[in-house]
Amino acid sequence: MGIENGGNFREVEEAKELAEGSGVGQEVTQEQMEEANKVILESLGISEETRLDDFEGALIEATKALPRYQEIEQRLEGVEVQDLPYELFKLLQSKADTEELDPDAPQDGVLIKSMQSGHLECAGRTLIASTYLQSRNIEHATIKAPGHTFLIIEQVADTLVYFDANNNLYFTFPKQALEGYQDINTMSECKISEYTPRESDFLDGTNTVFDHFIVMPAQEGRGRVYLGNLAAALNGNEEFKTSSVVENKDLIPAVNEIEASIYGENVVLNSFRDRMEALKNIEEEKDKNDRSFISKFFNQYPDNPTEEQFINYFLDNLDNYNYLGKRMPFIKNAKDEQKVGFAQKLWESVKEEYSSNSHS
């Protein structure tokens, strides 16, 4: 997803909605429940002899035992509470990954046992970030967008933080710009509307936003996302082909039942999931348009385009076409000098890759 580097939409996702069709109407046996219990525990790196009496507590402890979590906790020691969200983002964003990972290690990056090898994707980064923020009593919510997971943090009474570590995007914005939002403890379907950045607002990143999503209470959201990903692994989804979870569609109803027993059913979330395929198609089309926007520039200026040409192209499209403004609400109504500064950063992030691609 996004303009930077051609976009990276469709990371490993919370994919319960892809798996729910398996075993619909099928009665869940005690044997299936016991086997699902075993698979969940194994994914958390816990002995199968243990009972899943406190899934949320087990998930927290398993997350805190991850090497990346412990590294972050150590590096943030002594940081003032008000500075923690942004300092956490800088340590956890995907471009901060420096460790050379084993190519044969699990690549899903969202299940604890896979995350132990170091590879992280959107739900994995969100799990670590949310668990850490909760340990420091920083109010936030888990966000479920079509094919993606990230965080919203309540910074002060009138300000929210968009915290998307996997897409290297962090910005603050007025709370009233999040239509449908009630508070961090209420499940709600929300959209980011157009707004004018304030002097106090801050931006780090050049990617585009997910502007339509579900706000979930942080701990509940982490649990639902994790079990949804486990269901996707049992479903045999491609993203999990290197994980240790063996495909077994018969266990998906049992995992779904475990989720329901912990969190219950939620009408808002179910409605969003029912529309998930259509919502994903919309996001994929947006992502395609993001790439097309950059490609058109390099097709227009195939021979050594300049920064000035790109800035003019960006500003013209930002001002004259509603599409780009919706993808980048944090800059659409900003001051002219801020728009130019943003365009310069975007140019630095795309010029090398797209220039080489246009000549290949």
The pLDDT value recorded for residue 355 is 59
Mean pLDDT of 136-165: 96
Q: What is the pLDDT of residues 200-252, one digit of tens each?
A: 999 999 999 999 999 999 999 999 999 999 999 999 999 999 998 999 999 99
Q: Is 185 helix (H, G, I), strand (E, B) or coil?
A: coil
pLDDT at position 359 is 45
Q: How far apart are CA 37 and CA 349, in angstroms?
A: 44
Looking at per-residue pLDDT, the higher value among 4 and 44 belongs to: 44
User: Does 323 have pLDDT greater than 90?
Assistant: no
Spatial neighbors of 135 by CB under 8 A, at least 6 apart, are 64
Q: In the predicted model, is pLDDT for residue 317 greater than 50?
A: yes
- How far apart CA 166 and CA 279 sit, in angstroms, is 20
**pLDDT (0 to 100) of residue 64:** 98
| Confidence band of 357 (pLDDT split at 50, 70, 90) | low
| 260 has a pLDDT exceeding 60 | yes
Kindly tell me if the per-residue pLDDT of 21 is higher than 50.
no
Torsion of CA 151, 155, 157, 160, to 10 degrees: -40
Residue extents of the structural domains in the chain: 4-275, 281-358
What's the mean pLDDT when you consider all of the chain?
A: 90
> Per-residue pLDDT for 341 more than 70?
yes
Determine the Cα–Cα distance for residues 171 and 236; give it in Å rounded to an integer: 35
pLDDT for res 99: 79
pLDDT at 170 over 70: yes
The first and second tokens of residue 307, run together, are 């920064």
Q: Of all helices (H) and strands (E), which one includes residue 171? A: strand 169-174
Please name which of 93, 97, 125, 94 lies closest in space to residue 109, comparing C-alpha atoms.
125
Residue 297: name the closest of 83, 3, 68, 29 by CA.
3
Segment 92-112 mean pLDDT? 90
Residue 272 has pLDDT above 70, yes or no: yes
pLDDT band at 20 (very low <50, low <70, confident <90, very high): very low
- 17 has a pLDDT exceeding 90: no
